[in-house]
Structure 1
Amino acid sequence: MQKGAFYTGEYTNLFAEIGIPQEKIDEKIKNTFNTMFFDPEERIYFEMGEDMGYMLDTGNNDARTEGMSYGMMMAVQMDRKDIFDRLWLFSKTYMYQKEGKYKGYFAWSVKPDGTKNAEGPAPDGEEYFAMALFFAHKRWGDGPEPFDYSVQARDILRHCIHQHELVEGGQPMWDNSNYYIKFVPETPFSDPSYHLPHFYELFAIMADEEDRAFWKKAAEESRKYLYLSCDKTTGMAPEYAEFDGRPKLLFGKEFEFYSDAYRVAMNIGLDASWFNKDESLGEIVDKLQAFFSENTQLGEYHAYTIKGEAFDEEAMHPTAIIATNAAGSLAAKGKYRLQWVKDFWELPLRKGVRRYYDNCLYFFSLLMLAGQYRIY
């Protein structure tokens, strides 16, 4: 089995494999980042005062821990400490909970002025915050609080699995019996797209020493959970799933493969790029790519059951489907893998009110396929 970049230091560049010159790859990454962060019309990053900034969910007009932590990961990958620190200071100032049962967690949604829309956290934000902070520590070193990045990251992870011990009435973000991340701390079910075994492998090195065995086990169990939750024929994951992998319907929806679920293919791709501990996970992406290549027109997507049954509801984020399916090619071996990379290369950033989610996943997929989403 071919080893991943964690072991070899060599990152797969699928754009080069399809014949794209390196200077064009580098230019596209730079231009995409500049559009998302600085273009007057199309940016999703906004600065606040002298030392803060936020990532705006343009479809919902709020800042979410998902987007804030994504922005921090983008900034550390692009070596932009200035942007990273602005996003982190906003997060600590307006989202971090200092009391109550969510003490140590981050409110998942706030208004652009920092006013909380909700008190509860979303675990995918916490895991991205922690990973981005560890990478910041490696790239730039720790500074004074709250820029003592590694200290902050370990504190986040400590709360994620020990909240019930640290805070009265608190619930952990991971189920301590099966090592699965939960949809929210109070729920006995999961979200397959939250499962990031490649992050947990690194947490098993960087977190508190007494928790490292937990994170190692979480990586193993998350890879198994992807098999449980992804459909055996289409490769589709449900947006939310029971601990046994069965789809769980929420928020009045009848469909299962929708916005959150698109990230699963991207996550499998990055796990393969970094660690490649389970090559057979690529078969999930093979099935997913085959379903879309053989049953749909590029970009003309709907909401689906995980069996591939389409609803009248159009996909809210079609650009994200193309981007994440392409990123999954880092794990795939099927006949469509390079075609998805080619189609993604030709795909522009999404414009308009719904651009936030699509373009975040677009940029991550761009970095992955260029071999520039790095471990630090």
Structure 2
Amino acid sequence: MDKGAFFTNNYPNLFICLGISEAEVDKKIKDTFETIFFNAVERFYFEKGESMGYILDTGNNDARSEGMSYGMMMAVQMDRKDIFDRLWLFSKTYMYQEKGKYQGYFAWSVSTEGIKNAEGPAPDGEEYFAMALFFASKRWGDGKPPFDYSVQARDILKHCIHQSEMVEGGDPMWDSKNYYIKFVPEAPFTDPSYHLPHFYELFAVMADEKDRPFWKKAAEESRKFLHITCDKDTGMAPEYSEFDGTPKHLINEGQFYSDSYRVAMNIGLDAAWFNRDESLSGIVDRLQSYFSENTKLGEYHSYTIKGEPLEQPALHPVAIIATNAAGSLAAKGKYRMEWVKNFWNLPLRKGERRYYDNCLYFFSLLMLAGQYKIYL
């Protein structure tokens, strides 16, 4: 088994395999970042006052912990401390919970003026906040609070697994028995796309020392979970899942829906960084085969995880192409490079729903270019 970049510092660039030059790849990354953050029409990053900024969910007209933490990860990968600090200060000022059972967590949705739309957190925001902060600490060094990045990251992770001990009435974001991340702290079920074993491997190096065995175990158990929740024929993951891997219906009629798309991307990055479970490639192989053999490029629907198309069109078709391509970092099947080529030729999404698609587009672009880096 080939070791991942964590061990070798070698990040695969699949675009090079298509004959695309490094200069072309670098330009595409730069242009994409510029569009997301600075284009007058298509950006979804906005500055607030002299020291803050937010990522706008253009489909819902709010700022979410998901998007804020995504923006911070983009900024640290692109060495933009100015943007990173603006996003982090907005998050700490308007989303961070100072009291109550959610103390230490971040409200998952606020208005662009910083008014909380909900009190509860979404755990995928916390894990991205923590990872981006650790990387920032390594790239730029810790400053004065709240820019003491590594201190902030460790505090987030402490709350994530010890909330019930730290806060009266609080619930942790990870289940202490099976080591799975929960959909929300109170929920006895999970979201497969929240499972980021490659992040947990790094938390096992960077978190408080006493918690490092927990994170190591969480990485192992999340990889096992992906095998039981992704369909054995189609490779599709459900948007929400019981702890035994079976789909759970919450909001949408479909099971393979918007959150689900991230699973292939996550498997791809885990392979690029660690490659501890090479058999996860089979999930992406099946997923790529399903879409290549049963659909037209970009003409997607909501599906059951068995691949049965439902009437509802996919809300984020660009994200499906991007994440299936990112999964090629793990895949071994015959459609592997076809998806990379399709993605390279794919423009950014425009219009109202561009936020989610283009976030996953940019992450997939960095991954496939070998430029989504670990900072230790």
The interval holding the TM-score normalised by the smaller chain is over 0.9
The share of aligned pairs that are identical, in percent, is 78
Question: What pairs up with 1:155-304 in 2 under 5 angstroms?
Answer: 155-251=155-251, 253-304=252-303
Q: 1:126 offset after TM fit, Å? A: 0.1
Aligned-partner Cα distance in 2 for 1:51–1:224: 42
Q: State the one-letter code of the partner of 1:194.
A: Y
* Pairwise CA distance, 1:228: 0.9
SS of the aligned residue for 2:310 comes to strand
- 1:140 corresponding residue in structure 2: 140
Give the corresponding residue for 1:30: 30
Q: How does 1:62-81 map to 2 (within 5 A)?
A: 62-81=62-81
Structure 1 counterpart of 2:350, one-letter code: K
Structure 1 counterpart SS, 2:54: strand
AA partner of residue 291 (structure 1): Y
Partner of 2:306: 307
Quick one: which amino acid aligns to residue 8 of structure 2? T
Structure-2 residue corresponding to 1:50: 50
What per-residue deviation string (whole Å, max 9, x for no partner) do you get for residues 77-113 of structure 1? 0000000000000000000000000000000000000
Match of 2:373 in 1: 374
Distance, in Å, in 2 between the alignment partners of 1:153 and 1:15 is 33
| Cα distance in 1 for residues equivalent to 2:249 and 2:262 | 18
Alignment pair present for 1:121 and 2:130: no
Kindly provide the CA deviation profile for residues 298-323 of structure 1, in whole angstroms up to 9, marking residues without a partner as x.
Answer: 00000000000000100000000000
2:374 partner letter? I
Distance 1:96 1:259 in 2: 26
Secondary structure, aligned partner of 1:105: coil
SS in structure 2 at match of 1:203: helix
Match of 1:358, SS state, is helix
Deviation at residue 69 of structure 1 after TM alignment: 0.1
Amino acid at match of 1:309: E
**Cα deviations by residue, 1:154-180 (Å, 9 ceiling, x for unpaired):** 000000000000000000000000000
Question: What letter matches 2:10 in structure 1?
Answer: E
User: Which amino acid in structure 2 is aligned with residue 331 of structure 1?
Assistant: A
Cα deviation code 1:38-72 (max 9, x no counterpart): 00100010000000000000000000000000000
Q: For residues 227-255 of structure 1, what are the alpha-carbon distances to aligned partners after superposition, in whole Å with 9 as ceiling and x for unaligned? A: 0100000000000000000000002x321
Distance across 2 between alignment mates of 1:69 and 1:229: 26
Moved over 3 A (4+): none
The alignment's TM-score, normalised by the length of structure 1, stands at 1.00
Structure 1 unaligned blocks of 5 or more? none
In structure 1, distance between residues paired with 2:69 and 2:253: 30
Name the CA distance, whole Å, in 1 between partners of 2:146 and 2:159.
17
- Encode CA deviations 1:102-138: one digit per residue, 9 max, x unaligned: 0000000000000000000000000000000000000
* Helix, strand or coil at the partner of 1:163: helix
Instruction: Measure the CA separation in 2 of the matches of 1:132 and 1:332.
Output: 26
C-alpha distance in structure 2 between counterparts of 1:73 and 1:254, whole Å: 31
CA distance in 1, matches of 2:328, 2:60: 31
Q: Which amino acid is 2:206 matched to? A: M
Q: Confirm or deny that 1:318 pairs with 2:317.
A: yes
Distance in 1 (CA, whole Å) between partners of 2:320 and 2:253 is: 19
- Computed over aligned residues only, the root mean square deviation of the Cα atoms, in angstroms, reads 0.3
Cα distance in 2, alignment partners of residues 45 and 237 from structure 1: 30
Letter in 2 for 1:117: N
**Aligned equivalents of 2:188, 2:33: Cα separation in 1:** 37
Aligned residue for 1:14, secondary structure, equals coil
Give the structure 2 partner of residue 3 of structure 1: 3
**Deviation string for 1:249-289 (max 9, x for gaps)?**
002x3210000000000000000000000011010000000
TM-score by length of 2: 1.00
CA distance in 2, matches of 1:312, 1:184: 29
SS at match of 2:15: helix
Which whole-Å CA distance do the structure 2 matches of 1:79 and 1:54 have between them? 17
Which residue identity is paired with 2:295? T
Please name the residue that 1:331 is paired with. Answer: 330
Unaligned 5+ segments in structure 2 are: none
